[in-house]
Each structure stands twice: as C-alpha cells, then as structure tokens.
C-alpha cells in the first residue's frame, strides 16, 4: 500500500516534491519520480512485497515506454505472472505484473485482477494516461483540474491542494451530508473541484480529452433470479472461496496481523486463518477497547482465542485522548470521518506499527453480503426504495441526521439520492445500496486513511468480488431465516467458531460515543459545535435549532449521536483547514 501523485501537463518539480511529501505517511520506505514529455509522476512506497530496490516506483516496462505508479495489492499476481512468460521481469512485485498485464491485454487486464488497487500508467509512445480503481474502491483515487488546466490524480486530497488548487468546501456535499447523513455515494467530495474516481471505474486521458467509464458492475455478475445450487453446494463453494481469499491475502514479505472485534465477522476471519494456516498459527491479533463493558467485546474475543496460540494485543482508547486524537485523525482524513469507532480503530494500527506488523486483515463486507444489519429485517415487501436515501444507524430508532437544523436556503442545496433498483426484491436492492453507495464506500475511506496514518496496510478478505457475487445470488431465506440474520453464513462457519460466538446477535455500537459526548467529553463537544456555528451559524446551520437539539441530546432525549458528531466534524474541519 502506497501513494501517488500524477500531473498531466507542466508542473514544477518543487511542487511535485511538495505534493508527494503530503502523502509520505502512505509510503515512508521510499520515494520516486518520473518526469516525461507532458507527464509527472510522484510516488511514496510502503514496502510489502519484494522489499528490494527492484520494487522502486514509478516503474517502467522493458523498453521504458510504459510507466506505472501503483497503490495496493493484486493478490493473484503469481498466477498472472505464469501467464506472462513472454515478458521479462526484474522484480517479484505485483506492480510489475500489472504493468506487463496491461502490455499483454490492454485495459481488459483489470478483469483478471483480484485485489485492492489504484494505479496510473503513462504510455510514452501514445501519450495516453490510464487510471484505474479496484471493484469496491478499497484504494482511493482523486482527480481534478489545476488552475492552468493540468489534469491531476492523487491518492489523497491534500496532495491536490498542495499542487495549487484552492481549498474551498463544496456546499452541495456538505448540505447532502448534513441533511441526509450520506456521503461517499458519488464522485463528489467535500472540496470544490476535486472528484473521486468511483469504485470499479477507469479513466483515460489523451488528446486533451478525459474519458471515464465503469469497468466493473456487481449486478452484472449476480444472478437476477436466484442461485439454483442446493444449500449444501452453495455452502461448500462459499467456504472454499473464503479460504482462498484469506490464503491470497497472506501473500506478504512482512508480518501480517488480524483485527478481532469479537463479532461474528472478524471471528470467522480468525477461524479461517486457523483453517488455512493450521492450529499452530501465531500471527498477532489486535482488539480495541474503551474500558466500558457495555461495548467492549472481550468475552467473545477470549472465547475465540482460548483454543489458539495467537498473541493478543488489547488497544485502549481513553476519553481523555479523544480531543487531541480527533483533530489529528481529521487532518489525515481530509473529509468527515466516522466518529469514535474510527478513533478507537486507530489505536490498533498504532500498536501494530509499534510491533512491526505492517499488514492487518479485517472482516469488512459480510453484513452487506448476508443481510447482517437489523434494518434488513424491517424492509417492506416491495422492490422500490421509494424515497431518498438517508443514513441508517444500526440499533437506533431515530433519524441519523437533523435536516431541520439547517438554514432553508442551504438545505435546498442537498442532493437527494435515489439508489438504483437492479433486483426484483427489496432486500438485495438494500444490500446493493449499502455495498455500492453507502456503508462500504465510507467505511473503506475511513479505514484507508486510518491505516495509512500509521503506515500500515489494511486488507479486506471478505471484499473479494467472488464472495459478493455468490452471496448476493442467494435467496432471502438463506440470509434471514426465522428472524436470524446471516443464517447460511452461520452454518458455513459452524466448525470455525465456538457456539457462543456463532449464535451471538450483531451488537450495534462499538464505543460509548453517545455517553461520552453528553458526559465526560461534553465540554469538548460543546466547544466544537460552537466552533462550527462560529463559521457557519445562520448560513449553513440554524444556530438556535442546533443549540436546542444539542441541549435535548445532553438531556438523554436521543438514542443516537450521529448528528452531534456531524456538527463536531464541521467544527474540526473548519479549525483544521481554516475554511469559510
């Protein structure tokens, strides 16, 4: 996992160096540049596969006509390399495999890759600039036009700003976020002039034209009816794919660890590691806690680890750490993040880096595949999602956002989002919505930045496209059966986990954010809400309404704190970026 900056057009080398320095945390092991005819590439390397100098980037092909800058991993590079025997390899990296695959199969090479990746390839002969992002968008790509018209792409927003694009918030994105609680569902970012290349998309720049297209669409690989396999056949195939996905994601020349929350998904991951590596597996396991037994999941974690040899590292988030840590994390995120769970998660990557564990695996993706969220069980028996999407909070009965706290003129800027309905049933339409537009995109952005903050690579075994395609093809009663969510998944994983973990319900909240914000951190929250109002009171936010809702929240009249952290986020961003 690394970071890159690319500029199509003229740019001063000093500016490229400055932009590259802003993403040094993504790759502290090495840096490199390529300055060609009309192209400049900058790169920061986090060495994971082939730690030698042969992995230096930007990297070129045999005759120096193609140059690549690549962030992420293509896990099946060894298999692909065997299909590219007519090419000369100078390294053992997956990056060089991507480069030769592009030479061999052109843009169609993307469909052969299994991994998380974002890369740029410059063709010196054709003067074309090709950019691609993986199927689910695990790895980020942002793009913009600089004031003089140059096209710039980068792994993080801050690198684009360092090249001269003015920092100016996008009011439409902020209005949509504050009104509906949604973000990460489109190409828009929180910054004017900067767009995100969507997941599963590619971009080509040539002759002054920019062409963007979708190279992967999940629904095209899912049976629009239902999987005709028997339950036992589906279970066997899915289990084999789970093990293969985990096996592939252990390809690394540096130590690999596991994030274990105690929930079903991460426990399945640990069970799969045992199945793949054997009972003697001793990779490090990391768990975050807050010291509150109502939220910490240590009893379930201990059940999982009792029968293993894995060293267990407990990573504690203390309330007194939150003020400083929240500001620091905001600086790395560039856009609003997911609240205290993200802060707690950062403690894992901090500890992993201290111990020299540069790669971690986690369990993102199974809730969306197997209908794990509680609201999936309350869906109407119809196809249509007949009103604009709003953020849904697991375990909460109230709205996630407070649109009535917005100034009417500002609220009108918000863009309602109607999720596509590619399936004939509401359950799969909601699963698709969460996977493609809502939950997974924003979780991946939070997790990429928080892992990179500590120069560690996060891998997502359950975001293997083969798993998603098979799971979404399963009938609804294999996902929710007699009120039990993830029903078939629990059967698949039965021999991997203790009974208590298999039968445990999904626990909706990970941290005592709700309690801390109206308790020990009330003054801190109050300061940042008022800071947000000092910048945007009565232009974006209705000051009186916000203060009234904040008072009601502190009195315990709300069961979720999402909207409170929205206002805090606005305060954090305003202070850190000095924007108005």
In a domain, 182, yes or no: no
- Helix/strand/coil for 368: helix
- Helix/strand/coil for 41: strand
Query: What's the predicted TM-score (pTM) here?
Result: 0.95
| Three-point CA angle 536, 540, 542, nearest 5° | 90
Do 139 and 287 lie in one domain? The reply is no
**Which of 129, 133, 128, 130 lies closest to 155 in space, CA to CA?**
133
Q: What is the reported pLDDT for 398? A: 53
In a domain, 513, yes or no: no
Q: Using H for helix, E for strand and C for coil, what is the string for 245-286?
A: HHHHCCCCCCCEEEECCCCHHHHHHHHHHHHHHCCCCCCCEE
| Three-point CA angle 157, 158, 159, nearest 5° | 90
Do 243 and 147 lie in one domain? The reply is no
In a domain, 206, yes or no: no
Q: How many domains does the chain have?
A: 2
Given 165, 188, 215, the domain boundary residue is 165
**Which of 346, 197, 365 lies closest to 266 in space, CA to CA?**
365
Do 147 and 270 lie in one domain? The reply is no
| Sign (positive or negative) of CA dihedral 423, 425, 426, 431 | negative
Do 13 and 148 lie in one domain? The reply is yes
If you compute the radius of gyration of the chain from its CA atoms, what whole number of angstroms results? 23
Please identify which of the residues 2, 109, 205, 573 carries the catalytic annotation.
Answer: 2
- Alpha carbon separation from 513 to 338, 339, 342 (Å, rounded): 11, 8, 11
Which phi and psi angles does 122 have, rounded to 5°? -100, 125
Catalytic residue status for 2? yes
| Three-point CA angle 456, 459, 462, nearest 5° | 160
Q: What is the reported pLDDT for 386? A: 53
> Which residues of the chain are under the pLDDT cut of 70?
1, 381-399, 500, 503-509, 578-580
The contacts of residue 425 (CB under 8 Å, 6+ apart) are 383, 476
In a domain, 541, yes or no: no
Given 112, 145, 165, the domain boundary residue is 165
Q: What is the reported pLDDT for 508? A: 59
Q: What is the reported pLDDT for 500? A: 67
Q: How far apart are CA 191 and CA 358, in angstroms?
A: 31
Do 437 and 307 lie in one domain? The reply is yes
What does the block give as tokens for 517?
A: 């914000």
**Which of 89, 139, 77, 60 lies closest to 113 in space, CA to CA?**
77
Q: How far apart are CA 451 and CA 350, in angstroms?
A: 8
* Residue 169: Cβ within 10 Å count: 20
Do 318 and 456 lie in one domain? The reply is yes
- Helix/strand/coil for 523: helix
Q: What is the reported pLDDT for 501? A: 73
Domain limits at 292? 229-370+427-502
Q: What is the reported pLDDT for 225? A: 81
Torsion angle, CA of 365/366/369/374, rounded to 10 degrees?
-110
Do 291 and 434 lie in one domain? The reply is yes
Given 502, 517, 539, the domain boundary residue is 502
Do 10 and 83 lie in one domain? The reply is yes
- Alpha carbon separation from 407 to 494, 538, 542 (Å, rounded): 52, 6, 5
Q: What is the DSSP letter of 453?
A: T
In a domain, 110, yes or no: yes
Do 157 and 260 lie in one domain? The reply is no
CATH number of the domain to which 69 belongs? 3.60.20.10
Q: Tens digits of per-residue pLDDT, 303-349?
A: 889 879 999 999 999 999 999 999 999 999 999 999 999 999 999 99
Q: What is the reported pLDDT for 397? A: 47
In a domain, 205, yes or no: no
89 phi-psi bin (left φ>0, alpha ψ -120 to 50, beta other): beta
Instruction: Give the distance from CA 510 to its chain's centroid.
Output: 18
- Helix/strand/coil for 436: helix
CATH number of the domain to which 462 belongs? 3.40.50.620
Q: What is the reported pLDDT for 580? A: 39
Transcribe 98-166 into DSSP letters.
HHHHHHHHGGGGGGG--EEEEEEEEETTTTEEEEEE-TT--S--EEEE-TTS-EEEESSHHHHHHTT--
- Helix/strand/coil for 8: strand
Q: How far apart are CA 20 and CA 8, in angstroms?
A: 15
Q: How far apart are CA 154 and CA 172, in angstroms?
A: 22
Q: How far apart are CA 512 and CA 496, in angstroms?
A: 30
């Amino acid at each position: 996992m690394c970071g890159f900056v690319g500029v199509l057009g003229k740019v001063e080398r000093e500016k490229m160096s400055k932009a590259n320095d802003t993403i040094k945390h993504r790759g502290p092991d090495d840096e490199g540049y390529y300055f060609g005819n009309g192209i400049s590439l900058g790169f920061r390397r986090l060495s994971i596969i082939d730690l030698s100098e042969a992995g230096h980037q930007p990297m070129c092909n045999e005759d120096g006509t193609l140059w690549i800058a690549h962030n992420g991993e293509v896990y099946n590079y060894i298999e692909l390399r065997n299909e590219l025997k007519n090419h000369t390899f100078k390294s053992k990296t997956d990056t060089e495999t991507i480069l030769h695959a592009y030479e061999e199969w052109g843009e169609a090479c993307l469909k052969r890759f299994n991994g998380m990746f974002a890369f740029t390839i410059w063709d010196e002969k054709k003067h074309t600039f090709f950019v691609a992002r993986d199927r689910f968008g695990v790895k980020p790509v942002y793009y913009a036009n600089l004031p003089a018209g140059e096209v710039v792409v980068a792994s993080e927003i801050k690198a684009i700003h360092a090249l001269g694009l003015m920092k100016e918030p996008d009011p439409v994105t902020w209005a949509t976020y504050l009104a509906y609680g949604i973000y990460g569902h489109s190409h828009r970012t929180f910054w004017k002039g900067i767009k995100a290349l969507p997941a599963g998309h590619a971009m080509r720049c040539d002759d002054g034209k920019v062409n963007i297209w979708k190279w992967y669409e999940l629904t095209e690989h899912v049976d629009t009816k239902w999987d005709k396999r028997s339950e036992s056949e589906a279970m066997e195939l899915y289990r084999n794919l789970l093990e293969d996905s985990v096996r592939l994601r252990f390809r690394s020349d540096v130590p690999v660890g596991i994030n274990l929350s105690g929930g079903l998904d991460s426990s399945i991951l640990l069970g799969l590691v045992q199945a793949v590596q054997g009972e003697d597996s001793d990779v490090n396991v990391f768990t975050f806690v807050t010291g509150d037994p109502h939220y910490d999941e240590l009893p379930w974690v201990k059940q999982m680890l009792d029968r293993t040899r894995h060293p267990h590292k407990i990573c504690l988030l203390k309330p007194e750490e939150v003020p400083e840590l929240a500001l620091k994390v905001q600086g790395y995120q560039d856009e609003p993040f997911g609240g205290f769970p993200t802060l707690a998660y950062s403690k894992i990557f901090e500890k992993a880096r201290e111990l020299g564990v540069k790669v971690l695996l986690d369990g993102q993706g199974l809730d969306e595949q197997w209908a794990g969220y509680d609201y999936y069980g309350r869906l109407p028996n119809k196809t249509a999602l007949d009103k604009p999407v709003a953020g849904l909070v697991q375990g909460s009965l109230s709205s996630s956002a407070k649109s009535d706290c917005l100034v009417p003129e500002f609220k009108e800027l918000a863009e309602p989002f109607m999720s596509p309905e590619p399936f004939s049933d509401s359950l799969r339409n909601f699963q698709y919505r969460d996977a493609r537009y809502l939950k997974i995109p924003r979780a991946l952005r939070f997790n990429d930045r928080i892992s990179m903050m500590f120069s560690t690579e996060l891998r997502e075994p359950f975001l293997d496209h083969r798993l998603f395609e098979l799971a979404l093809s399963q009938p609804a009663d294999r996902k929710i059966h007699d009120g039990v969510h993830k029903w078939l998944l629990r059967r698949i994983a039965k021999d991997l986990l203790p009974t208590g973990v298999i039968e445990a319900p999904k626990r909706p909240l990970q941290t005592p954010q709700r309690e801390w914000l109206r308790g020990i951190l009330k003054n801190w929250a109050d300061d940042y809400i008022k800071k947000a109002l000092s910048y945007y009171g009565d232009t974006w936010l209705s000051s009186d309404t916000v203060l009234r809702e904040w008072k009601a929240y502190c009195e315990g009249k709300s069961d979720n704190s999402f909207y409170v952290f929205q206002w805090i986020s606005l305060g954090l961003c305003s202070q850190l970026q000095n924007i108005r």
